[in-house]
Amino acid sequence: MSNFPARIPVAPGLRDLGLFNWVFCKLTARKQQVPQAHLFTTLGQHRRLMWAWLPFAGMLLGAGKLPKTDTELVILRVGHLRHAEYELQHHRRIGRQRGLDEATQTAIFAGADADGLTERQRALVAGVDELVGTRTLSDDAWKRLSAHLTRQQLIEFVTLAGQYDALAATLSALRVPLDFDD
């Protein structure tokens, strides 16, 4: 994440996490094929907060109304704008699994005017840029997004971008270390 040390211990033990969180963190690390899932071992040290946040984040990530490629596009764009390497490491991989190849990811990072994006993707990228930059959406941005998204998807789009913006701030402020060496 940075050259600075983590602010929360990165290798908490059973006592810090509690049995349930400790097992969850071990299983998550195994699934992600990393020695330690630092996001979860960090948040897991506030046991109730992690379990309040997980269903919300999980719904946005995998069970929402947006297509999974749109979800990953939003997360990648927020991660890029916030220089959130932790988010980018994980979601570049997930994005590839969900249909966002390297060329498309490069276009997402380049911005809404980049070659290789569909009109829907351009609207999403521009919407993320405006929402992250101004904390709201102009009527023009709303109209552009509304041409591609249902009412429920619009609500989810705003919530998803805000959630990953907040997560980027959390990762940065707590100096959560990266999970992968690359």
**DSSP state letter for 136:** S
135 contacts 162 by C-beta, under 8 angstroms: no
What pLDDT is stored for residue 181 in this prediction?
83
What pLDDT is stored for residue 177 in this prediction?
95
What pLDDT is stored for residue 1 in this prediction?
47
What pLDDT is stored for residue 10 in this prediction?
85
> Which residues of the chain register pLDDT less than 70?
1-3
**63-173 fold:** AhpD-like (1.20.1290)
Q: Which residues of 132-156 are buried (b: 16+ CB within 10 A; e: fewer)?
A: beeeebeeebbebbeebbeeebbeb
CA distance 112 to 119: 9
**Does the global pTM surpass 0.85?**
yes
Element (H, E) at 74: helix 68-81
What pLDDT is stored for residue 170 in this prediction?
97
What pLDDT is stored for residue 141 in this prediction?
98
User: What are the extents of the domains in the chain?
Assistant: 14-45, 63-173
